[in-house]
């Protein structure tokens, strides 16, 4: 196998902010003492006057961004998912969501692939939290190309958006000339007739690899990348359910409230279908190298393959 | 407006508070009445605002961080001409735009949605920072409760404002000394309030917040203060102007019944009458 290029999605956040910053004077970036990690540090170098370090005070940062947005600025607030969606949940809900202000939340270090820092920093609940806020868009890009495209797309969109990025360098899978990011639209990456694997974020790559292995076993799996979890591409999800009749969801997030839950909500009302949620099974993570944790928690290609193969055999 | 005119307007604002809360059969009269003179001074003297152009980008901004005293803000806005005074009677009614707590999306003149305590000051800091960044010269005012400053986010915001030298920001603390569960110095004392803000690099001014001479002097001093934000600690009387509500914590978040409403309005009417004889 040839060398696969790997880049963390947070890198796409930083590079897209710079590109946008060059074009748009009203773009402003806020951070909470994590500029090197969230990759807003590169923006800070390019536009020091438009990078506001709020110190370790995420709740205040959310409010500052709300105030700035009322003046026509487009603030991107940046922290780890745990402290953005977690610590500042209520500020995002009340100061940004309720008045539907044009604030973008760039949350890095989501999921267990944070790795060695362990459970306190591994946010597996952010999609669930953000998804419940009325009017909030929730995006979880699958690679750096999608991350960069998503950041650029949400700048053009008026309203609050939660963007989820990872710490871990992950394979680039969207490097093709016709790649286009459309907010709210899922992407079919592999056709298949026996079952559908709906994945998001870094799990999309693992899902694709799992599908190839399943094919060797005679299981033809469709693979869909859902980068926008809210609003969910109901049409594509329902079409997939109708086509294959068996759905697996894969996410580096709790099986409660995330992609799997969103898919179930959609299908139970529109096209009742058996859905298996592959994700973090209502437990905290732990310290360890990211790849080892993804393997242990069965969210890598091996884990996805084994689970799908086992359940498809039971049919 | 001169002092007498301001005092007369404050009577109208207090009437609006009582009528709104009575009609809603719910709401927060105590802290609305304590801050009624501040609301009046801000909207009739201090702030550069235009009811005909409520979203003028150059206007001064006001954030009611203690959002539960929306009846006071609404009464000032209505009397200033942002919306009809009669609409105050729809406060908290289903379908009314006058929500229980300020809603910037639907209420003309409201610069920030608020209500969850501790959050408004951060938004005010964002506005003040934005004005500095874009070299606009409007000022930003934020009214906090003295109980509200028990919230940690207030001090995150204060640290930010002091550090960033946001001298276009003026914070007012309505120090009526009462919160829902009792006296603030018995629940969890935030005193000394002035020294706390001073240590966050604020200029602090203590005044009688129900005295227009002192209110005017404080806001003038705030405007003249450069290189740091100002906090005005307004020592006020909760329920000010209504005999049975004054300094009575029971009126923090309760509406008067018809009988109580009649007595309260009579108190306010008499105060207005006394001013007319001046």
Q: Which residues contact A235 (CB under 8 A, 6 or more apart)?
A: none
Q: How does pLDDT run across B133-157, given as a tens digit for each residue?
A: 999 999 999 999 999 999 999 999 9
Mean pLDDT of chain A: 97
In this structure, are residues A227 and A146 in contact, taking their beta carbons and an 8 Å threshold? yes
Residue range A124-134, pLDDT digits in tens: 999 999 999 99
Question: Does position A1 have pLDDT exceeding 70, yes or no?
Answer: no
Q: Mind telling me how many Å the CA of A27 is from chain B's nearest CA? A: 12
Catalytic site residue A212?
no
First to last CA, chain A: 33
Element (H, E) at A86: none
Q: Are B21 and B28 in contact (CB under 8 A)?
A: yes
d(CA A44, CA A167): 19
- Confidence at A3, pLDDT banded by 50, 70, 90: confident
Give the whole-angstrom CA distance, residue B130 versus residue B114: 19
Report chain B's mean pLDDT, rounded to a whole number: 98
Taking a C-beta distance cutoff of 8 angstroms, is the pair A19, A152 a contact? yes
**pLDDT over 70 for what percent of chain A?**
99
The label of the residue with tokens 């009458």 reads B273
pLDDT digit string, tens, across residues B191-231: 999 999 999 999 999 999 999 999 999 999 999 999 999 99
Q: How confident is the model at residue B278 (pLDDT cuts 50, 70, 90)?
A: confident
* pTM higher than the cut 0.90: yes
User: How near does any CA of chain A get to the CA of B120, in Å?
Assistant: 7
Cβ contacts of B172 within 8 Å, gap of 6 or more? B38, B141, B142, B143, B144, B209, B231, B232, B234
pLDDT of the residue at B208:
98
**Architecture in CATH of A6-171:** 3-Layer(aba) Sandwich (3.40)
Q: Contacts of residue A75 in chain B, CB cutoff 8 Å? A: 126
Mean pLDDT for B38-53 is 98
* Residues of chain B neighbouring A30 (CB-CB closer than 8 A): none
pLDDT of A314: 80
Top-tier CATH class for A187-313: alpha beta
Half-sphere exposure of B36 (CA within 13 A, CB side): 29
Backbone angles phi, psi at A252, to 5 degrees: -90, 70
List CB contacts (< 8 A) between A90 and chain B: 116, 119
Q: Look at strands A6-8 and A169-171 and give their pairing.
A: antiparallel
Mean pLDDT throughout A206-215? 98
For chain A, give every residue range classified as CATH 3.40.50.920: 187-313
CB contact under 8 A, A70 and B157: no
Give A2's pLDDT tier (boundaries 50, 70, 90). low
CA distances (Å), origin B195, targets A114, A286, B202: 42, 44, 9
- Per the CB < 8 A criterion, the answer to whether B170 and B203 are in contact is no
Q: B130 and A60 in contact by Cβ < 8 A?
A: no
Could you tell me the pLDDT band of residue B167, with boundaries at 50, 70 and 90? very high
Contact B223, B184 (CB under 8 A): no
- As a 3-state breakdown, chain A gives helix, strand, coil percent values, each rounded to 5, of 45, 20, 35
**A66 chain-B contacts, CB cut-off 8 A:** 112, 122-123, 126
* Alpha carbons within 13 A on the beta-carbon side of A177: 0
Best residue in B104, B119, B126 to probe A by mutation, most A CBs within 10 Å? B126
**Residue matched to tokens 């920093």:** A121
- Which residue in the list A11, A58, A146, A148 is annotated as catalytic? A58
Question: What structural domains does chain B harbor?
Answer: 3-276 (3.40.50.970)
Whether residue B126 and residue A50 make contact (CB cut-off 8 A), yes or no, is: no
**pLDDT, tens digit, for every residue of A224-277?**
999 999 999 999 999 999 999 999 999 999 999 999 999 999 999 999 999 999
Q: Are the C-beta atoms of residues B231 and B258 closer than 8 Å to each other?
A: no
For residue B170, the cross-strand partners are B141, B230
Q: Judging by beta carbons within 10 Å of its beta carbon (0-12, 13-18, 19+), is residue B126 exposed, middle or buried?
A: buried
All CATH 3.40.50.970 domain ranges in chain A, comma separated: 6-171
ipTM rounded to 2 decimals: 0.97
């Amino acid at each position: 196998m040839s060398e696969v290029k790997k880049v963390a999605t947070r890198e796409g956040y930083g590079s897209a902010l710079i590109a946008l910053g060059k074009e748009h004077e009203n773009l402003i970036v806020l951070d909470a003492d994590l500029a090197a990690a969230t990759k807003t540090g590169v923006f800070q170098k390019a536009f020091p006057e438009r990078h506001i370090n709020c110190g370790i005070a995420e709740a205040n940062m959310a409010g500052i961004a709300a105030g700035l947005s009322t003046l026509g600025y487009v603030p991107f607030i940046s922290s780890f998912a745990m402290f953005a969606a977690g610590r500042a949940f209520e500020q995002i809900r009340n100061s940004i969501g309720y008045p539907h202000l044009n604030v973008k939340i760039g949350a890095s270090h989501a999921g267990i692939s944070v790795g060695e820092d362990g459970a306190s920093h591994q946010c597996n609940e952010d999609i669930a939290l953000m998804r419940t806020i009325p009017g909030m868009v929730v995006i979880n890009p699958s690679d750096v190309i999608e991350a960069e495209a998503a950041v650029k797309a949400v700048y053009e969109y008026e309203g609050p958006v939660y963007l989820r990025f990872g710490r871990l360098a992950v394979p680039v899978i969207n490097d093709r000339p016709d790649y286009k990011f459309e907010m709210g639209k899922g992407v079919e990456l592999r056709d298949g007739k026996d079952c559908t694997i709906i994945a998001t974020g870094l799990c999309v790559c693992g899902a694709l690899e799992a599908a190839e292995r399943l094919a060797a076993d005679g299981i033809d799996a469709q693979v869909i990348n859902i980068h926008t979890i809210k609003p969910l591409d109901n049409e594509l999800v329902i079409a997939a359910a109708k086509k294959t009749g068996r759905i697996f969801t894969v996410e580096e997030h709790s099986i409660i409230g995330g992609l799997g839950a969103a898919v179930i909500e959609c299908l139970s009302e529109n096209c009742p279908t058996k859905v298996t949620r592959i994700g973090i099974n209502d437990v905290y993570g732990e310290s360890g190298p990211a790849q080892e944790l993804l393997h242990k928690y069965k969210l890598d290609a091996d884990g996805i393959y084994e689970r799908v193969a086992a359940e498809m055999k039971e049919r | 407006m001169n002092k007498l005119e301001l005092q007369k307007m404050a009577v109208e604002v207090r009437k609006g508070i009582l009528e709104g809360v009575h009609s809603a059969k719910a709401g927060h009269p105590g802290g609305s009445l304590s801050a009624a003179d501040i609301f009046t001074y801000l909207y009739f003297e201090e702030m550069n605002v235009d009811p005909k152009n409520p979203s003028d980008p150059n206007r001064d901004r006001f954030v009611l961080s203690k959002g539960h005293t929306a009846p006071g803000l609404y009464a000032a806005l209505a009397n200033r001409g942002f919306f009809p005074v009669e609409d105050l009677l729809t406060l908290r009614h289903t379908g009314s735009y006058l929500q229980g707590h300020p809603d910037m999306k639907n209420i003309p003149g409201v610069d920030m949605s608020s209500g969850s305590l501790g959050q408004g000051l951060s938004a005010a800091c964002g506005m003040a920072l934005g004005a500095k960044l874009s070299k606009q010269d409007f000022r930003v005012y934020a009214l906090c409760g003295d109980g509200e400053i028990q919230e940690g986010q207030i001090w995150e915001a204060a640290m930010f404002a002091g550090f960033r030298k946001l001298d276009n920001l003026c914070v007012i603390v309505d120090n009526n000394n009462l919160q829902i569960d009792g006296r603030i110095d018995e629940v969890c004392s935030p005193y000394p309030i002035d020294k706390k803000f001073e240590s966050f690099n604020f200029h602090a001014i203590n005044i009688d917040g129900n005295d227009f001479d002192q209110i005017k002097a404080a806001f003038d001093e705030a405007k003249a203060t450069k290189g740091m934000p100002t906090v005005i600690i307004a020592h006020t009387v909760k329920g000010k102007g209504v005999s049975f509500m004054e300094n009575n914590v029971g009126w923090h978040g309760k509406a008067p019944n018809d009988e109580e409403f009649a007595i309260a309005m009579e108190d306010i009417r008499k105060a207005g009458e006394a001013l007319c004889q001046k």
